[in-house]
């Protein structure tokens, strides 16, 4: 059973892991290439050293500035570390020590990295999405072969047509293809609002969450994106023509679906 002490351990682990995710995502350049190097100041190039590298605390010890040139450090660093910790704790509280937890810690890490690179550079790098898709497909195949029922997946009662989706591999591939096709249509219609990166991310989310949960993920992503875009327009912080990356909202939608998708779907089906 999930309890508080291990949840705190997962919180701390997630904070430390978040520092690594920050570093990894920061190594993706604007063309989507990956160049791993030691964390350094983007202005003067001074390497971050010692206590300033500490997860979460380092930012505050350095007072949010480069020790060499006083350039402000992006608040992204502590925010990502904290969110990663909170997500690790939430996943533990939701699933306990299970295979689901192990799988979702990896999925959450991939989605955090994609969130950051799309937010900062409008890029969802293939170096993350392709291995992610291969991994999610392999997980789906493995649980199907082992007859393991993933706790977040939906099973259909009876012998009717929908029961074919009780095969999780089929459910994951159908979810991936459906989500990617849907986003591809949006890309074609919207002409520039979204890109092929969003199509690949939707495919990845489909493989991770499966049919029909992927639609919960897409719906939450579109809803969250719409609310934020409307708020930015109304408050005058963004103009209509300015780009807002959609990937971060898809990542949020995917994480919400993996945590509470079943409950959301049950609630929604109860309404109609």
Listed ranges 40-48, 76-84, 119-127, 251-259: which one lies at the site for Zn ion (CB under 5 A): 40-48
Evaluate whether 154 touches 177 at the Cβ level (below 8 Å).
no
Structure tokens at 262: 């079943």
* Closest distance to Zn ion from the beta carbon of 14 (Å): 28
d(CA 242, CA 187): 17
Q: Between 49 and 238, whose beta carbon lies closer to Zn ion?
A: 49
Q: Between 66 and 216, whose beta carbon lies closer to Zn ion?
A: 66
Q: Between 77 and 129, whose beta carbon lies closer to Zn ion?
A: 77
d(CA 57, CA 21): 16
Q: Between 66 and 113, whose beta carbon lies closer to Zn ion?
A: 66
Q: Between 16 and 41, whose beta carbon lies closer to Zn ion?
A: 41
* Closest distance to Zn ion from the beta carbon of 66 (Å): 3
d(CA 211, CA 78): 35
Evaluate whether 128 touches 251 at the Cβ level (below 8 Å).
no
Q: Between 64 and 131, whose beta carbon lies closer to Zn ion?
A: 64
* Closest distance to Zn ion from the beta carbon of 43 (Å): 5
Listed ranges 38-46, 86-94, 152-160, 264-272: which one lies at the site for Zn ion (CB under 5 A): 38-46
Q: Between 29 and 70, whose beta carbon lies closer to Zn ion?
A: 70
Q: Between 71 and 242, whose beta carbon lies closer to Zn ion?
A: 71
Q: Which of 8, 9, 44, 230 binds Zn ion (CB under 5 A)?
A: 44
Give the total of residues touching Zn ion (CB under 5 A).
Answer: 8
Contacts with Zn ion in 64-83 (CB under 5 A)?
A: 66, 68-69, 71
Q: Which of 20, 41, 137, 264 binds Zn ion (CB under 5 A)?
A: 41
Listed ranges 10-18, 42-50, 146-154, 234-242: which one lies at the site for Zn ion (CB under 5 A): 42-50
Q: Which of 8, 29, 30, 43 binds Zn ion (CB under 5 A)?
A: 43
In the stretch 202-221, what mask flags binding to Zn ion with x, by CB under 5 A?
A: --------------------
d(CA 258, CA 150): 11
Q: Which of 225, 192, 226, 211 is nearest to 257 (CA)?
A: 211
Contacts with Zn ion in 82-101 (CB under 5 A)?
A: none
* Closest distance to Zn ion from the beta carbon of 51 (Å): 16
Q: Environment class of residue 185 by beta-carbon count within 10 Å: exposed (0-12), middle (13-18) or buried (19+)?
A: exposed
Residues that bind Zn ion in the complex, under the rule CB under 5 A: 41, 43-44, 46, 66, 68-69, 71
């Amino acid at each position: 059973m999930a309890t508080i002490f291990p949840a705190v351990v997962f919180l701390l682990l997630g904070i430390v892991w978040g520092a690594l995710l920050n570093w990894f995502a920061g190594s993706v350049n604007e063309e989507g290439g990956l160049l791993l190097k030691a964390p350094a100041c983007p202005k003067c190039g001074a390497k971050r050293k010692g206590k300033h590298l500490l997860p979460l605390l380092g930012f505050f010890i350095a007072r949010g500035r480069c020790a060499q040139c006083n350039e402000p450090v992006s608040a992204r660093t502590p925010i990502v570390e904290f969110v990663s910790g909170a997500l690790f704790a939430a996943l533990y509280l939701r699933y306990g020590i299970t295979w689901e937890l192990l799988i979702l810690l990896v999925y959450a890490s991939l989605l955090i990295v994609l969130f950051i690179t799309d937010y900062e550079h409008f890029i969802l790098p293939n170096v993350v999405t392709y291995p992610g898709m291969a991994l999610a497909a392999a997980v789906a195949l493995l649980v199907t072969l082992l007859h393991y029922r993933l706790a977040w997946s939906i099973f259909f009662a009876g012998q009717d047509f929908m029961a074919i989706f009780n095969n999780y591999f089929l459910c994951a591939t159908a979810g991936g293809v459906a989500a990617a096709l849907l986003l591809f249509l949006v890309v074609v219609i919207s002409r520039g609002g979204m890109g092929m990166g969003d199509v690949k991310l939707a495919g990845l989310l489909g493989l991770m969450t499966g049919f029909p949960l992927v639609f919960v993920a897409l719906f939450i992503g579109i809803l969250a994106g719409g609310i934020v875009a409307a708020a930015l327009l109304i408050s005058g912080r963004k103009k209509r023509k300015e780009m807002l990356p959609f990937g971060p909202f898809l990542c949020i939608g995917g994480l919400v679906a993996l945590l509470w998708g079943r409950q959301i779907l049950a609630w929604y089906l109860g309404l109609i």
